[in-house]
Structure 1
Amino acid sequence: MNVTIRLTGLLVILLIGVVLGLQTAERGIYKVSGLPEQQTQTFSIKKIDNGQMEIAVMGKQVQARAPGQMVNYMSSAGQSIGQVVKAGTKITVEWIASIFEP
């Protein structure tokens, strides 16, 4: 009987802790990304008409001649670094394979 009461008490405390943890995590997510009813504050894209788009980054409007002509410098830098890593890995693997050739 005593063990059952202790186990039930521990399970109730655990359940309360899980519920409080989920509520705290949800509030933290809302602080970072905003409430679900609001537009995101960091980045938003609205399709207006005729393929035109309105793009806002950190609340500031970004104008572009055409959406396809926008340059994402971080993306192009990441792609070039990826190509360098890929080429370096290929050279290293070929060099190690040449050591073990008969």
Structure 2
Amino acid sequence: MNVTLKFIGLVAILLVGVVLGLQTAERGLQKVEGVPAQNPQSFYIKKVDNGKMEIAVMGKQLSADAGKATTYVSRFGETLGDAVKDGTRKLIEWVAAFF
């Protein structure tokens, strides 16, 4: 019992030491490389006015209107979604007609 407690205590101290060592090494690497403690966001979106958004990608400012952001992919997705919705509704009505 006494040996077990000593062993568990030593393992706990070892794990705490490893964690502290990793943190210290990480801080040292950041100091040498000149990397800030918190990396800047690579992608940022902010709503400015009605339908207008401010977008920053890798620090480069972009702006977009919500109406102009619609593409053929989104229109295709809406059409496909409506078709699936209508098909599911008809299938449920058909199955419900048996009961």
Query: What is the TM-score with the length of structure 2 in the denominator?
Result: 0.43
Bigger strand fraction? 2
Q: Which has the larger radius of gyration?
A: 2
Query: What is the TM-score with the length of structure 1 in the denominator?
Result: 0.42
